[in-house]
Amino acid sequence: MKSLIALVFAMSMMIPLAANASWGVIAVDDQVGEKDPAYGVGGGDSKAEATKNAMKFCKEASGTKCDVAVTYEKCGAYASSRKYSGTGTASTAQEAKKKALDECNNASCRVLIADCN
């Protein structure tokens, strides 16, 4: 578990997420279970390019069933409790996180990733 988190963190440090891109996408492999989901964040000049990048990074983070969780032009966030999940988009990361937690609607939900263009 710690090695997966370290791998995801290291990958996020090596690649620009959605910085300076027109679109951002968070892709997640959120199978119900005991571990946090694998995810990838991708940016691009189009939704298609951002989706392709996010799916690639999700798979590189050991995701086997990656799906697009949220697409955004400003900021996006993904929250999960391993059983419930929620997404949010807004003009700021803080607002997107709040929306994701509200949609997740479970006391054990926490924000796993938030990103802004």
**H-type alpha helices, 1-117:** 2-14, 47-60, 93-104
Percentage of the chain beyond pLDDT 90 is: 73
Q: Is the pLDDT of residue 2 over 50?
A: no
- Which residues, 6+ apart, have CB-to-CB distance to 43 below 8 Å? 16, 17, 18, 19, 20, 21, 22, 23, 24, 25, 50, 53, 117
Confidence of residue 16 (pLDDT cuts 50, 70, 90): very low
Whether 12 shows a pLDDT value over 60: the answer reads no
pLDDT of residue 21: 74
Rounded CA gap, 41 and 49, in Å? 12
Q: Give pLDDT tens digits for 61-84.
A: 999 999 999 999 999 999 999 789
Total number of domains constituting the chain = 1
Whether the pLDDT of residue 20 is over 60: the answer is: yes
Q: How far apart are CA 117 and CA 101, in angstroms?
A: 20
The predicted pLDDT at position 8 comes to: 42
Short-list 9, 48, 5, CA closest to 25: 48
Domain containing residue 72: 2-116
The pLDDT of residue 110 is above 90: yes
